[in-house]
Amino acid sequence: MTYHDERLPDHLLVRIEQRDDPVSELSEDDARERSIAYPTLMWGMPVFGFVEQVDGRWRILRLAADEPQHARDGLASHFRKLHSELPETDEHATERAGYETAYELLDWEPLDELTVNGRRYRIIRAQPFIRMGPDGPEPPRPTDPDPYPPGQAERDSSPMAGFVIDPTVGTGLTDGLVRMEMISGYLQTDAVGEDVRADSRLAVTSHPNVVLLPVEYTIGAYVAGSWRPRTAATYPTPQAARDAGSFSMGPFAPDENAPFEEVMAAYERARAAHRPPCTDDFEVQGVSCRVTRVETFVRVGPDGPEGPRPSDRDSYPPPARQVHDLREQGLMPDPD
């Protein structure tokens, strides 16, 4: 259901706008055509990151972790950086102490939300998905930005950093329909456990809206009659994916027992010989590859974006706790 009543709370709004500028019209045409050519939506593994609340809205600081604890470790590093950037003066003593307390706490406790120096921070969960069609995964669209030539796309920065999660921002018709589909969507496959399905169903009511995040790109590989990810990494632009995803040590790879210096020399020779493609379909060592468009959404509830779920894989404790447990088990010596 699409709501237009301004009395509704923000977390229930899906505001669809008619945009008349040429770029928006072309983007909307691309989206409609691709929804027909690539009609099947396939969900990937969730990704995690951390956000801060600024003026009532949640802003992404980083979103690239495969487990909640990796995101917590990233947030602790963020606080360490903020702490190190402040001068060691009486004027900043309280603020420095706040950041120090926060990262020391995260070293020991798996916290998903905390307030530091008057600002709220949260570990969030996002859901990537791709579109599939008869010929495989959806490649980049003609209107997707791709500003740099082959070999120079490392200048691109992640579009996720600084993105504001705002469900009230207007969207085009096709993206609005995607949001509507995701709002009521939950995992129904037997390929996951009942605890995962139960958490997915619960999220539909606890966080009843979704926000689409900036598009990123990865590389798919056609192996043994099916498409699979060539890498778990995502990239900010199609050319950045081509540059990174097409690289291979190939004939330069040394023996597996070669010394480190020989491995690095082979790597440098491979980098020098690497010529990134400028097309979306290419081969790497005889394997057909395709730049693949990755869309991502985050669920939103009355208090903001969804955090990790109980069923999400979270395979190790915070670093200080992990070291403590290993020492308790006699698997790591005590410091001198």
Residue from 141, 137, 118, 119 nearest 129 by CA: 137
Query: What mean pLDDT do residues 30-51 have?
Result: 93
Question: Is the Cβ–Cβ distance between 165 and 57 less than 8 Å?
Answer: yes
- For 312-335, write each residue's pLDDT tens digit: 999 999 999 988 888 888 777 877
Residue 3: pLDDT over 80: no
Please give the pLDDT value at position 156. 67
Residue 109: pLDDT over 90: yes
Query: Where are the chain's structural domains?
Result: 10-44+125-328
Residue 5: pLDDT over 60: no
Residue 231: pLDDT over 90: no
What type of residue is 97? A
- For 7-22, write each residue's pLDDT tens digit: 667 777 788 777 777 7
Strands 287-301 and 119-133: antiparallel
Please give the pLDDT value at position 2. 47
What's the mean per-residue pLDDT of the chain?
Answer: 90
- For 46-57, write each residue's pLDDT tens digit: 999 999 999 999
Residue 271: pLDDT over 90: no
**Comparing 250 with 58, which gets the higher pLDDT?**
58
| Helix and strand element counts for the chain (H, E) | 8, 13
Residue 211: pLDDT over 50: yes
Residue 91: pLDDT over 50: yes
Say whether 73 sits in a helix, a strand or coil: helix
**What pairs with residue 125 in β-bridges?**
48
CA distances from 78 to 110, 111, 171 (A): 16, 15, 32
